[in-house]
Amino acid sequence: MTFDPFGDFATRGYLRNLAKAKDPDIVRRLQHNSFMTGLDEALAKLDGQKQLVYGDVLGTHKVLFEAVFPWAGEDRLTNAAHLAISKGPVLFAYPQDIRRSTDYALERGQDKGFMVAKPGEVMGYLAYGHPFLEGNGRTIMVVHSVLADRAGISIDWAATDKDEYLSALTKEIDRPGKGELDAYLKPFIRKAAAKGGIAANVAAAPGLDGNADNAILGDTRDPALKTRYEAQELKRKQAKES
């Protein structure tokens, strides 16, 4: 089933892309081209900020994807506030909780000691927030890479395996703070790349051509979905505290 959160796929194409293309493969190529074109600008804007905040995550998405989507830089609370979004077994943050999860990741990620010790946990919170309808993986990888660089490290993304990484990330989202993603990333941690090396490192990461397997589970106001959200949050809280 086509991922159609706006309900206007027939007239405006996949996710209201500016080309009005309906083939997700075409839109993925447009996204990848836009990402590669905007990567240096996005990194330069982040480099100019002493302290990264939620608005910088939104701004990164806008720079990377405004050539494709008119809503680039808008989070799900702005354009899909009542939709429960999932990918495979992962139910992403309730729209009202996107900023809370992202802010927590930014707070921890800007604690250099924490970032060096637990880069996977920081990535897990960024991924759980899933601020956008599309382009999350690339946006948060850019932000995460800047956080890592400021902490004096980098992740050798080119050496990682896409499927193994996503498996560890899924476990991290399900049970935050248990070290699932940190354990996977540990062999790939290096010293910070030379200045200007962040873009090349990010671009070398596997799987950055995007995918189209987001799904709409339903309306977040549905009692059954509200119960599922509450159960998930309780499970994540217990994992974090235990």
Residue-wise pLDDT for 113-171, tens only, equals: 999 999 999 999 999 999 999 999 999 999 999 999 999 999 999 999 999 999 999 99
**Closest of 37, 118, 133 to residue 81, by C-alpha:** 133
Per-residue model confidence (pLDDT) at position 214 = 83
pLDDT digits (tens, 9 = 90+) for 16-72: 999 999 999 999 999 999 999 999 999 999 999 999 999 999 999 999 999 999 999
Tokens 């994540």 belong to residue: 236
Per-residue model confidence (pLDDT) at position 33 = 96
- pLDDT of residue 212 exceeding 60, the answer is no
- pLDDT of residue 191 exceeding 70, the answer is yes
Express the helix, strand and coil content of the chain in percent, nearest 5 each: 60, 10, 30
- More confident call, 223 vs 78: 78
Q: What is the pTM of this model?
A: 0.94
Residue 92 phi, psi (nearest 5): -75, 170
Report the pLDDT averaged over residues 95-118: 97
Q: Which residues contact 121 (CB under 8 A, 6 or more apart)?
A: 108, 172, 176, 177, 179, 181, 182
Domains of the chain and any CATH numbers: 9-241 (1.10.3290.10)
Assign 195 a pLDDT band (cuts: 50, 70, 90).
confident
Distance (Å, rounded) from C-alpha 163 to C-alpha 181? Answer: 13
Pairing of strands 83-87, 90-91: antiparallel
- More confident call, 89 vs 94: 94
- More confident call, 90 vs 171: 171
Residue-averaged pLDDT of the chain: 93
Per-residue model confidence (pLDDT) at position 236 = 86
